[in-house]
Amino acid sequence: TYQRFFRRYLCLAGMTGTAIEVAPEMRSVYAMDVLRIPPNRPVVRRNLGCRVFVDSDRRWAAVVHSAARMRAAGRAVLIGTRSVAASELASAHLGAAGLAHEVLNARQDQREAEIIAQAGQPGRITVATNMAGRGTDILLSPEVRLAGGLHVILSEYHDSARIDRQLYGRAGRQGDPGSCEAIVSLDDELFLAHASALLGWLRPRVSQAGLLPSHLARLLRQSAQAAAERQNSRIRRQTVEMDKRVEQSLAFAGRGE
């Protein structure tokens, strides 16, 4: 397992912007403490909140509208998706609206450096999966910085809020201006898998515009992600326990490491 592999290192350390939430697990699995380091410069990124639509079509229409508005203002836009299929669906909706854009996913990994290099230019719209372009700063042109910086649109929540925050963190880096928002739908994978009991109660409460009230949107996200985090944490703990039992069995048989 990954846990067993990393514990074999004599010296183990790491750095991430989202470790504080999993500090207890880091301590119990790897015997590592987590320390919070203040940012180099104040974060001025604005979070514009979340909109949850009743279905995927309305979600993509809102994503396209937001991207077009930011593009017209001279901003650069990054649209984050959970999968290659979702990135291609986003691309299809942008194309149908006549919005020029670039797609960064596993199919375009050869052009990753080129796409990232241009992603901070005025009016540039980039669609990317959550792993694409990770670890690379999107450098803003002076014009984009003056216009308000990079705008990040999260088009579907992830099982872990940490991954959502990593996407939001693509904007407003090193004191740059920027903004972010979530535009999602009730038929997203996270909600269907981890909040199905809530969905039947929520659907009648959607507005005529197909939008869930903000306080219910927050409740839905928190409930679904908490359930997903509990499940994933339980699976990781079970994996560690199984690994220990296998190691003990091998040692008893004289074949341990």
Query: Following CA atoms 43, 36, 131, 103 in sequence, which dihedral angle do they give, to the nearest 10 degrees?
Result: 0
Rg of the chain (C-alpha set)? 21
pLDDT at 236: 84
Tokens (6 digits) for 137: 């700063």
DSSP assignments along 154-166, one per residue: E-S--SSHHHHHH
- The phi, psi pair for 102, rounded to 5°, reads -120, 150
pLDDT > 80? residue 235: yes
Residue pair 120/139 in contact by the 8 Å Cβ criterion: yes
Give strand pairing partners of 51: 183
Q: Residue 254: which pLDDT band, with cuts at 50, 70 and 90? A: low
Mean pLDDT score of the chain: 90
Q: What is the mean pLDDT of residues 76-94?
A: 95
Q: Residue 256: which pLDDT band, with cuts at 50, 70 and 90? A: low
Question: CATH number of 46-223: 3.40.720.10, 3.30.1490.20, 3.40.50.300, 2.60.40.10?
Answer: 3.40.50.300
- Looking at per-residue confidence, does 41 or 240 come out higher? 41
pLDDT tens-digit readout, 162-206: 999 999 999 998 899 999 999 999 999 999 999 999 998 999 998
Half-sphere CA count of 99, side-chain side, radius 13 A: 28
pLDDT tens-digit readout, 127-151: 998 765 566 788 999 999 999 999 9
In the chain, % of residues over pLDDT 70:
93
Length of the chain: 257
> Which three-class secondary structure string do you get for 164-194?
HHHHHCCCCHHHCCEEEEEEEECCCHHHHHH
For residue 86, give Cα distances in angstroms to 99, 130, 146, 186, 226.
Answer: 17, 11, 31, 15, 23
Domain segments of the chain as ranges: 1-37, 46-223
Q: What is the mean pLDDT of residues 107-111?
A: 69
